[in-house]
Amino acid sequence: MIAYISGKVLDISETQVLMMLHSGIGYEVSINELTYSKIVTQEDVDLFVYHHISEATQALYWFVEKEEKQVFLELIKISGIGGKVALSILSLGIDYLVQSVQNDDKAAVQQIKWIGKKMAEKIILELKDKDFITAKVYTSTGSATQTQLPASLMENIKSTLTNMGYRPRDIERILAQIPSEVDTTEKILSHVIKELS
């Protein structure tokens, strides 16, 4: 079972990385936008891996932080949540996900692609008593808005857009005016790109 990989990035997109190990073996691995933003400028990376094996297929999912992998493992235990959906949920950022669960903010979770109202309710119910949820404390309450998005998430979004060729000053100007309903990585990236086009 593959659990950790260190090697050279040969090709990268917002959803996949082709990486060559020092032994010469190459792996194609699924990632989300947050992981992409953290490693897009790096040639050599070390990442935690979840190796999914079924009768029909095998897949690798990568995480920069060990905590991301632990949350991913909790998410895929939920009936109806597979690897791709779990990665999409993690694109919210762990802090924002925890805050949404603590505040019972179904609307925030429902913004994720493939997540409907019933599934959002199920995710919040299943995660409510998990250690990584109960261990974190936030002073803000209520539904998440742009001002409640974790600073780490916003920095990753800025980094991704900068690496795509947009000017930091222009990015910050648009991010300062993000509507409250634009509250996921995917939506924010799309909104800023549209505004800057």
- Give the tens place of pLDDT for each residue, 113-148: 789 999 999 999 999 888 878 776 543 334 334 445
| pLDDT given for residue 151 in this prediction | 65
At 152, is the pLDDT very low, low, confident or very high (cuts 50, 70, 90)?
A: low
Instruction: Kindly state whether residues 99 and 54 are assigned to the same domain.
Output: no
Instruction: Kindly state whether residues 34 and 82 are assigned to the same domain.
Output: no
Instruction: Kindly state whether residues 122 and 157 are assigned to the same domain.
Output: no
- Tell me, what CATH number does 83's domain have? 1.10.150.20
- What residue numbers bound the domain in which 55 lies? 4-63
Residues contacting residue 177 through CB under 8 Å, at least 6 positions apart: none
- Answer with the one of 45, 63, 81 that is the final residue of a domain: 63
Instruction: Kindly state whether residues 121 and 150 are assigned to the same domain.
Output: no
φ, ψ at 87 (rounded to 5°): -65, -40
Closest among 36, 32, 28, 149 to 90, alpha carbons compared: 32
Q: Are 19 and 77 in contact (CB under 8 A)?
A: no
Is pTM, for the whole model, over 0.85? no
| pLDDT given for residue 137 in this prediction | 53
Give the pLDDT confidence of 178-194 residue by residue, as tens digits.
Answer: 887 777 776 787 788 88
